[in-house]
């Protein structure tokens, strides 16, 4: 069921709010980077958000009426686009903005209804039901304690990002990158 965008493998992370999706991704990114992978992230937000700080020029220009604000430097660039969509954009619409970027892997946070392979994060103490019984696209569950999963759904330790990273590399066929650690270039 491996899915790709422009031949770039991708895997999603699905969970109820407050389960720790962003925390896990923050732990996974440096581990995947150490294997030489250039990783992109698509994150769904359920609400209005700003990536700039009030008072900064780009924020003030957008607030003044610019529908597109592109900020760039030699280190990074960011594009903020104001929209009047009636619904959240689909994954395909968001991925189109990645264009032909030089990526080896795309991690997708949220968008749990998309038909892509996903790792479900589950914390039984939160009292929320698991998603995997109703979502055939869940290939693994990362939980903070053992839970019953069918044989087709791998069980991972949510508190072991090395285990989760190794699963992603194996599942997406990127395991040959294991051991090809990058030279220390300031990558955490």
Cα angle, residue 70 at apex, residues 54 and 26 outer, rounded to 5°: 70
How far is the C-alpha of 78 from the C-alpha of 135, rounded, in Å? 33
How far is the C-alpha of 160 from the C-alpha of 7, rounded, in Å? 28
Model pLDDT, residue 182: 36
pLDDT band at residue 161, thresholds of 50, 70 and 90?
A: very high
Per-residue pLDDT of 116-138, as tens digits, reads: 999 999 999 999 999 999 999 99
**41-45, 111-115, 145-149: least confident range:** 41-45
Centroid of chain to Cα 5: 14
Residue given tokens 């072991």 in the structure block: 160
Model pLDDT, residue 49: 65
Partners of 42 in beta bridges: 108
Write out the E strands in the chain. 3-5, 8-14, 39-43, 68-72, 77-81, 105-109, 118-122, 138-143, 154-157
Between 146 and 70, residue with greater pLDDT: 146
What Å distances lie between residue 99 and 15, 42, 96, 153, CA to CA?
27, 13, 5, 32
Model pLDDT, residue 186: 32
* Average pLDDT in the chain: 83
How far is the C-alpha of 82 from the C-alpha of 3, rounded, in Å? 29
Q: Is the pLDDT of residue 76 over 90?
A: no
Question: Residue 21 class from Cβ within 10 Å (0-12 exposed, 13-18 middle, 19+ buried)?
Answer: buried
Q: Is the pLDDT of residue 162 over 70?
A: yes
Find the mean pLDDT for residues 90-98: 79
Q: Is the pLDDT of residue 64 over 90?
A: no
All structural domains of the chain: 3-46+91-177 (3.40.50.300), 50-87 (no CATH)
Model pLDDT, residue 12: 95
How far is the C-alpha of 51 from the C-alpha of 173, rounded, in Å? 33
**92-96, 140-144, 146-150, 162-166: least confident range:** 92-96
pLDDT band at residue 70, thresholds of 50, 70 and 90?
A: confident
Model pLDDT, residue 55: 83
Q: Is the pLDDT of residue 158 over 80?
A: yes
What b/e sequence results for 117-127 when a residue is b if at least 16 CB atoms lie within 10 Å of its CB, and e otherwise? bbbbbbbeeee
């Amino acid at each position: 069921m491996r899915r790709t965008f422009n031949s770039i493998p991708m895997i999603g992370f699905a969970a109820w709010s407050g389960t720790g999706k962003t925390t896990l991704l923050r732990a996974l990114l440096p581990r995947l980077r150490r294997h030489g992978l250039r990783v992109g992230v698509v994150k769904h937000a359920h609400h209005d958000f700003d990536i700039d700080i009030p008072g900064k020029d780009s924020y003030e220009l957008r607030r003044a009426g610019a529908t597109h604000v592109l900020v760039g430097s030699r280190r990074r660039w960011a594009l903020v686009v104001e929209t009047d969509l009636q619904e959240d954009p689909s994954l395909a619409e968001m991925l189109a903005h990645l264009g032909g970027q030089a990526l080896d892997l795309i991690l997708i946070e949220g968008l749990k209804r998309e038909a892509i392979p996903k790792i479900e994060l589950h914390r039984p103490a939160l009292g929320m039901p698991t998603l995997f019984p109703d979502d055939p696209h869940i290939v693994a569950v990362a939980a903070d304690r053992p839970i019953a999963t069918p044989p087709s759904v791998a069980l991972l330790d949510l508190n072991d990002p090395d285990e989760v990273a190794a699963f992603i590399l194996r599942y997406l066929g990127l395991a040959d990158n294991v051991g090809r650690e990058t030279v220390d270039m300031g990558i955490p």
